[in-house]
Structure 1
Amino acid sequence: MGREIRNVSQPCTLTGEGDFMCQLKDFADATIQSITQRVVTYTAALVLAGFYYSVQLAMANAVLVIVSEIYDYSVLRRIVRWDGKGAKTARSLYIQLMVATVISAINIIFYAIGIALIQGPGSHFISLFFLFSAAIFAAMSNHQVMSVLVLRLTAYGLAFVFIPVYDVYTTGAGIHSELWAQLFASFFVLYFVVDCSRIHRALYRQSKLQLDELRDQQKTTTDALRIKTDFLSTMSHELRTPLTSIRGSIDIIGSGHFGELPDRIRSVVSIAQRNCGILITLINDILDLQKIEFGNMNYNMEKLDIVDLINHSISVNAPYADQLGVTLDFDGKSKPVFVHGDFQRLSQVLSNILSNAAKFSPRDSTVKITVFEHVGRIRISVRDTGIGLEESEAPKVFDRFSQIDASESRNFSGTGLGMNISRRIMEAHDGLIGYTKNSGPGTTFFVELDKARQSEVLPPSLQIDDLSASRLNHFTARSAARQVKDTAS
């Protein structure tokens, strides 16, 4: 009899048609969760009754408990499984719930009064305590449905008062008798129970109102996020096509196809080329980010050579590094090391790291790229001699639209998206991206991937010839030109 999971397709509210369904389902959930507690309490009470008072009473009560709990549980399960539709079904379930409540209350009252009658006139601690416990339990657990709570408290209250009244009546005790004191005390106890019920009912209503407010706020936020995403996606698609055409036209002009350009015009064209590239990179990064956030990023997973991947990324970023007077140094003679991943996306990650390393390194410096293998993991490290990043700044480095708040960084442009996209790409590869601050100047960025198993490695002929050729054909001159200057972030 485990906890039932409510169908959340129809949220509970305190206004409208969902109110009644919400109350019934909340009541059913709470009551099902307390079954074990009730059974333990009943068992202890029946053992006490059978040992100290009457075996017959205990056995009769046990039959009532079994019938009551089985019927109660069947009604609660039907409520939990109810889809909230149909007024006839709602009325039927409500009637069944009230019948179950009556049977359960009669069971408790039968036990308490039965013990009291066997005891005769006196304090009746067990009987009254059992009724008091049942009333408190109802106040705490049955406050979801007001009619059920009122029915239980009324039944327990009448039984609670009946026991001392019966003692006073049968004994003819005077007003100064202790039996009268017990009768008056019972009214104070009932007031306490009613007050507890009122407080729990108010807390329940307040919590539901707060949940409704949170649900409304969540819906508003979700709608705003959807509108923002749709706007960014539409804007990016609409801007990318004309920008690509503008970039192509400017490139043709800058190439001297229409004649040699004067130095002043060439300078202006160069600025236009650079800024078009920055805008195209920003648009592509935004589109990539939208794809990742909505799970629409496609990955062409394959067995690839890390050395081949590094050499390709260096060849793409070398012209940009040369413009900055930075050398990208890698021993391309390293033996092939294979991983499982998307060549284009991993190249995008390395291009972000390499372009950043070149951008933030001083002129006439060298960026060193190395490959390490350790315990089935491959690590590519890119060590620069630039401004250096504190490791405590990692959350900002990999966040969206973020720039390191240092005076040096304000001299460099960037979208602030590249490293965030790189982190998400590495997560999709079950990999890792991070950095450490060098003991000297600069920072060492690294990416880690699982090494491909030996059985997954492609034949040497395909590694050297067919695979490399297909990758070179895959990357057009336009994509290479984009990554030369514009993947920095």
Structure 2
Amino acid sequence: MEMTKIVVPDTPLGLKAHVTWADRHRLRDYAQIGQKLFIQRFVIYSAAILLTGFYYDWGTAAFYFAAVILCELFDFKVFNTVLKRKSLTPRVFRRDMVKVYIGTFLSALTISMFCISIARLQGLGGGHFFPLFMLVSASIFAAMNNHHFLLVLALRLFIYVAAILYIPIRDVVIVQPPLNSEIWMSLFTVLFVLGFIVELARNFLVGYSVQLASRIELENEHKRALSAVDAKTRFLATVSHELRTPLTSIKGALDMINSGVLGKPPDKMGRLLEMAGRNSDRLGDLVGDLLFLQSSDAGHMTLNKERLDLGRLAHEAVEQTLPYAQRVNVTIRVDATPDEHWIEGDKKRIEQVLLNLLSNAAKFSNVGGDVRVTVETLDDQVYLRVRDEGIGIPKGTETHIFEEFFQIDSQDDRQFEGSGLGLSISKRIVEAHGGEITYDSELGVGTTFVVVFDAADTAP
């Protein structure tokens, strides 16, 4: 995509007619690193200037100290303005870039003239270690921290390199030493160091460009993911609400017919009507699940918490699941003493978790299988376990088992019915209560789901 390209400014000063995401990121990154290193630069420059005053001339030191302070304050104000700004129009971006170039030019020129002044105070020859060391350090510092804009880095390095070359060349021109003199050696050493600085700057510039491209691509992927989630949420909400109204009418009519209020239907129709009633209940549950997911994704899940007896709820859930378990020839046993295992929770939602786990256990059990439900309290936590002797969960599905619409058997002719929403909804409900849901499974042997809640006080 065009917005994700890392481009070199297309006008002499990089003042574009439009602002890309790369421009915004570069400017903010430049301002952040500049502001972050403000104290560090101030301490380094202050120490260098104090050394100059102590060893050479206090007047020169005072002049450049004032100049450095002014440059740093100007940069700090520019950086602070950039970081506080909420939006960035092309006009504002151009204005900011002009300030960045001005600040770059003034600060680089101040440091260079300061180092040249020290070299002059030192006299001819002598290697000029201190001023050259300051200039080389400033160049390396620029390569490491000013690589966000090519022209900004080039401008700063051009000024530093000019000053670095000026100091030894000035000695060569004035002294005119023989080729075996250390003055020439200083010049050759400077040339060698400049090659290192240029290569260092190139590496940092390329590395930052690659990193920025990756960051922008990640942002684009994140926005596309958010758009997909939003589209899915709106789709679920629309479809669920559109289904609920006619489904409610159909279910109500079937319930009235099956109840005999309108008279007993013919025997041949009775079985079909009962089947239609069961399937309308299934559709109603599916629509309810979809609406729950939609409200959960939108952050609208509300919990009406109260003190609950999880042992009693387990018995009630087993009673509700028994008709289905008997239909698939599965036995459900419960080991949960009432009035002993208390939690704080939404009764309707906790029941939903219990029913989801029980129906799953019965559905995936072998014919004649046994499902065991246990509830116990240990160390201020209440453990609910639902164990089946069914097909088990294959390895490699650990990260998917609680995903929406995930099915262990996803073939078109799969044996087991279901929408694949039960475990995902259960996980959301449990985590909304501050609990945790996990499982342990062995293929062909069975699965145990474990739900953990914080225990409530036993006393009402």
Question: Which TM-score band applies after superposition, normalised by the shorter structure?
Answer: 0.7 to 0.9
Quote the residue 2:19 is aligned against.
Answer: 18
Deviations 1:66-85 (A, max 9, x none): 44434432332223223445
Quote the residue 1:416 is aligned against.
Answer: 420
Equivalent residue in structure 2 for 1:359, among 346, 360, 363: 363
Give, as a single letter, the amino acid of the residue that structure 1 aligns with 2:18. Answer: E
TM-score, structure 1 length as denominator? Answer: 0.77
Equivalent residue in structure 1 for 2:83, among 77, 80, 90: 80
Instruction: Return closer, same or farther for 1:84/1:234 CA change in 2, 3 Å cut-off.
Output: closer
Quote the residue 1:240 is aligned against.
Answer: 244
Give, as a single letter, the amino acid of the residue that structure 2 aligns with 1:69. Answer: E
| Matched position secondary structure for 1:277 | helix
- Map 1:54-93; keep pairs closer than 5 Å: 61-84=64-87, 93=96
Q: Distance in 2 between matches of 1:347 and 1:283?
A: 18
Give, as a single letter, the amino acid of the residue that structure 2 aligns with 1:18. Answer: V
Quote the residue 2:12 is aligned against.
Answer: none
1:162 equivalenced with 2:162 (yes/no):
no
Deviations 1:139-198 (A, max 9, x none): 332233455434422322221222123212322335675534544664565455445445
1:32 equivalenced with 2:35 (yes/no):
yes
Contact 1:84 1:90 in 2 (8 A): no
Give, as a single letter, the amino acid of the residue that structure 1 aligns with 2:322. Answer: A
Q: Distance in 1 between matches of 2:206 and 2:193?
A: 20
Q: RMSD of the alignment, in Å?
A: 3.7
Q: Distance in 2 between matches of 1:415 and 1:21?
A: 45
Instruction: Return closer, same or farther for 1:186/1:383 CA change in 2, 3 Å cut-off.
Output: closer
Tell me the CA shift for residue 226 of structure 1. 2.4
Q: Distance in 2 between matches of 1:219 and 1:353?
A: 35
Equivalent residue in structure 1 for 2:138, among 134, 138, 162: 134
Quote the residue 1:483 is aligned against.
Answer: none
Instruction: Return closer, same or farther for 1:219/1:448 CA change in 2, 3 Å cut-off.
Output: closer
Equivalent residue in structure 1 for 2:123, among 120, 124, 128: 120
| Matched position secondary structure for 1:411 | coil
Quote the residue 2:10 is aligned against.
Answer: none
Query: How many percent of aligned residue pairs carry the same amino acid?
Result: 38
Instruction: Return closer, same or farther for 1:434/1:178 CA change in 2, 3 Å cut-off.
Output: closer
1:314 equivalenced with 2:318 (yes/no):
yes
Give, as a single letter, the amino acid of the residue that structure 2 aligns with 1:279. Answer: L
1:334 equivalenced with 2:335 (yes/no):
no
Q: Distance in 1 between matches of 2:17 and 2:224?
A: 20
Quote the residue 1:42 is aligned against.
Answer: 45
Tell me the CA shift for residue 377 of structure 1. 0.9
Of the structure 1 ranges 125-134 and 320-329, higher mean CA displacement relative to structure 2 is found in: 320-329
- Paired residues in the alignment total 444
Stretches of structure 1 lacking an aligned partner (at least 5 in a row): 1-10, 459-489
Instruction: Return closer, same or farther for 1:188/1:363 CA change in 2, 3 Å cut-off.
Output: closer
1:292 equivalenced with 2:293 (yes/no):
no
Give, as a single letter, the amino acid of the residue that structure 2 aligns with 1:261. Answer: P
TM-score, structure 2 length as denominator? Answer: 0.81
Q: Distance in 2 between matches of 1:105 and 1:65?
A: 10
Quote the residue 1:474 is aligned against.
Answer: none
Instruction: Return closer, same or farther for 1:302/1:16 CA change in 2, 3 Å cut-off.
Output: farther
Tell me the CA shift for residue 347 of structure 1. 0.3
